[in-house]
Amino acid sequence: MATREITIGTYISEETVLHRFDARLKLLFILTASVLVFIFSGWKLVAFGCFLVFIIVVSRLPFRKILKSIRSVLVILLFTALFQFFLTPGEVIAGWWIFHITDTGLKNGVVFSSRVILLVFLLAILTMTTQPITLSDALAFWLGPFKRLGLNVWKITTVISIALLFVPNIIEQANRIILAQTSRGADFESSNPVRRAKNIFPVIVPVFVKIFRASELLSDAMDSRAYPLKGNRTRFHPFKVEITDILLFASFILASAAIMLIL
């Protein structure tokens, strides 16, 4: 079932370079890399993609799990490619009936699909190597200046951290219900899309019921502990930038600059 292949939003406890990387610099690295994904094209995009794969391999992250996360965006990849193939003007290289594939559309389809895949890689790297609480604290650090404009930073980061914490719970609950329904004869691997869609409804409803109950319990627990809506919070483990963090981030900047200037 598809939910078993979802790794985005699921933290994996390991001892890797990226796990020890300062969360604030890691978040800046992910945002910068996301911008570069949209800037680069052609061989620059290929080189940048190889660089990201190199980082994943050197950091000893489970590359297979990151590849499996692409399955969750296959529909987006398919529609992105098809829209570019058939709706982009250019020289026609293949056609059938009213559908025509152009050279420009083929190129744009490959480039845009590659960008989606690289963004999935970056999102998987961020969520797999950073705990939700640490990620929300790093986001609060960068949003700190907006407090002067009246923005409640802690509310925003708390909502984000809770959402990330609920992702593994949703997947776990869905897998349990799927196993229970399978033992009762439900067919989730059928090639008939109508039958598969019909069997999905007995899974969606219980998952939503369980999640709503869990959210109510979490809300009561936060209220009973007088969770502050105002004021500044402190961290049990304060952020501390190490020399290895600076060297790693500097290496990323230098490699990105080299790809931009040389290719």
Structure tokens at 52: 């990201």
Contact yes or no for 154/37 (Cβ under 8 A): no
Judged by average pLDDT, the poorest of 114-128, 195-209, 236-250 is: 195-209
User: pTM for this one?
Assistant: 0.71
Percentage, residues of the chain above pLDDT 90: 3
SS3 of residue 92 by DSSP: strand
Domain around 108: 2-262
Angular region, 115: left φ>0, alpha ψ -120 to 50, beta rest: alpha
The answer to whether residue 26 scores a pLDDT higher than 70 is: yes
Q: What percent of the chain has pLDDT over 70?
A: 82
Q: Is the pLDDT of residue 134 over 80?
A: yes
Q: Domains in the chain: how many in total?
A: 1
- Give residue 98's identity as a one-letter amino acid code: I
Residue 99, C-beta contacts closer than 8 angstroms, at least 6 positions apart? 86
pLDDT exceeds cutoff 70 at 229: no
**Mean pLDDT, range 75-104, rounded to an integer:** 72
Structure tokens at 12: 């994996």
